[in-house]
Structure 1
Amino acid sequence: MSLEPLFNPQSRLVGWIERDEHLYDLNLKWVGFISDGNAFSVTTHRWLGPIDELNCLDRTGKVVAWNPSQPIKGRITPMQPLTPLTPLRPLTPLRPLTPLTPLTPLTPLGGWSALQFNTWINQ
């Protein structure tokens, strides 16, 4: 299990992502899961938006959270997928080392989402 950091538009750490699997908050609480390239809330089971590699997008295709190892880009408004079955709760991961703060990125094409990570994940 390898966790990658997620940052907000101001380059503040907001959560963690396990590629193609799960989303965690700063306390490593399991808050979302990824199915077929889309994020879903663990608590509400609602579709949150697409996951583009390691970047989290809202339902309009705008970037909510990003990872410095991937280009930051939005996309046109995606179609809502069918809601998958919620996977079994994963084991709590070991706390990763605090990542270095990346440089503040340029605004992606289409702009940033108006949603903060915690608001996005709790829709």
Structure 2
Amino acid sequence: MISIFDRNAELIAWLSNDGKHLFDADMNWVAYASGGHLWSAETGNWLGPLQGTTLLDQSGRPVGWHPGDGVGSSGRPARPGRAARSARPARPARPARPAKPARPATPAGGWSDMTFLGWRSQ
């Protein structure tokens, strides 16, 4: 499992090692990846692109990041066609809490105005 942090370097989520599923910090399944984008596990709505291990909002600004990849942003992405819903994965065991990374520099274009909760609830 790959730890995902917010702009304040607080743990917000876990990305499966295969990059196909996103779980919140309590290991609840919240999103799945398809075609380079993340989709809400609850509604099937598009959340935004997945750029490596960086979670982007619909405007291309980061919501979450992993220190091994750094944090970046992109221009406004084109809205993709709706992805097929993913089957619910088995709930993984909770990984050990990772060390808190240093706060990252502000990416070009800035951070998303959305919190992780707001982003995943779209």
TM-score band w.r.t. shorter chain:
over 0.9
Aligned 1:21-100 pairs, distance under 5 A: 21-100=20-99
User: Identity of paired residues, percent?
Assistant: 34
**3-state DSSP class of the match of 1:119?**
helix
Which residue identity is paired with 2:90?
Answer: L
Letter in 1 for 2:37: N
| Unpaired runs of at least 5, structure 1 | none
- Which residue of 1 is the match for residue 15 of structure 2? 17
Alignment partner, residue 4 of structure 1: 2
- Tell me if structure 2 keeps the 8 A contact 1:20–1:35: no
TM-score scaled by structure 2?
0.96
Name the SS of the counterpart of 2:96 in structure 1. Answer: coil
| Structure 1 outlier segments of 4+, above 6 Å | none
Count of residue correspondences: 121
Aligned residue for 2:15, secondary structure, equals strand
Aligned-pair CA distance for 1:20: 2.5
Superposition CA RMSD, Å: 0.8
